[in-house]
Amino acid sequence: MKSLSKISSLLAAAALLFSVSSLAAPDPERFAQTLTPDNAILAMIDHQTGLMVGVRDMNPAQLKNNIQGLSKMAKVLNLPSVVTASYPQGPNGPVMSEISDILTDAIVVNRQGEINAWKSPEFRAAIKKSGRKKIIMAGIVTDVCLMFPAISAVAEGYDVYAVVDASGTWDAVSREAAIHRMTQAGVKVVTWASVLAEIMDDWRSPKGQQLGAVLGEHTAYGYVYQSYMANQK
């Protein structure tokens, strides 16, 4: 009887170990899936004039450039977009004009108290209404306005691409801590140019030339694009 009991205990322990390891193992297919113009939505979170002043982990001009590039990419592809601001009538200020002037068709959600945008029913509803499970997400600041909703969305089954170079925060330590925590939670940490290249997929795609122009305008790839256009002429 003792030996049967011991065997039963070992089997139970093995089953528990298998169950835990199965939960912890990443799904390889999920990480191999790519963005397309039909499966993604853009979420721009709290890129507000007051918060931009506190960004110190990146050159402000470079950050603005990256934000514009990401926004123009979404515009070219007609991606559904959600722009949200935290109490815009307060010290955080309004959304920077570089976003609102480009994403003129975006759904705008002005939150009155929720720090984590994912806790806003209006924001969550706007994402859900799109029917898309891949969220390209950026926010100011990285370790709060981007990190919290990114982790929350992943927990609800969404595939989140956190665009860290179109986000910014107080210092490099805060950025690195946020990247580590998001990675641990299964968020895909990316840059805006890599998102553009992934979603374009092929230079021969219908929007390939327009996306190349965005890349050329906002990165050092501009000289390559100029050379290509000169040869086309």
Q: What is the DSSP letter of 27?
A: -
Question: Residue 24 pLDDT > 70, yes or no?
Answer: no
> Contact 177/187 with Cβ under 8 angstroms?
no
Burial 177-204 (b: 16+ CB within 10 A, else e): ebbeebeeebbbebbbbebbbebbeeee
How far apart are alpha carbons 139 and 106 in whole angstroms?
16
Question: Residue 211 pLDDT > 70, yes or no?
Answer: yes
Q: What is the pLDDT of residue 21?
A: 45
Active site residues: 145
Report the chain's mean pLDDT, rounded to a whole number.
Answer: 90
Q: Domain spans of the chain?
A: 33-200
pTM above 0.95, yes or no: no
Average pLDDT over residues 138-155: 98
Q: What is the pLDDT of residue 227?
A: 78
| Identity of the residue numbered 184 | Q
Query: Reduced to 3 states, what is the DSSP secondary structure of residue 217?
Result: helix
Q: Which CATH number fits domain 33-200: 3.40.50.300, 3.20.20.70, 3.40.50.850, 2.40.70.10?
A: 3.40.50.850
pLDDT band at 230 (very low <50, low <70, confident <90, very high): confident
Residues 6+ apart with CB under 8 A from 211: 73, 76, 77, 196, 200, 205
Query: Reduced to 3 states, what is the DSSP secondary structure of residue 218?
Result: helix
Pairing of strands 188-190, 159-163: parallel
Average pLDDT over residues 152-158: 98
Phi-psi region of 69 (alpha: psi -120 to 50; beta: other; left: phi over 0): alpha
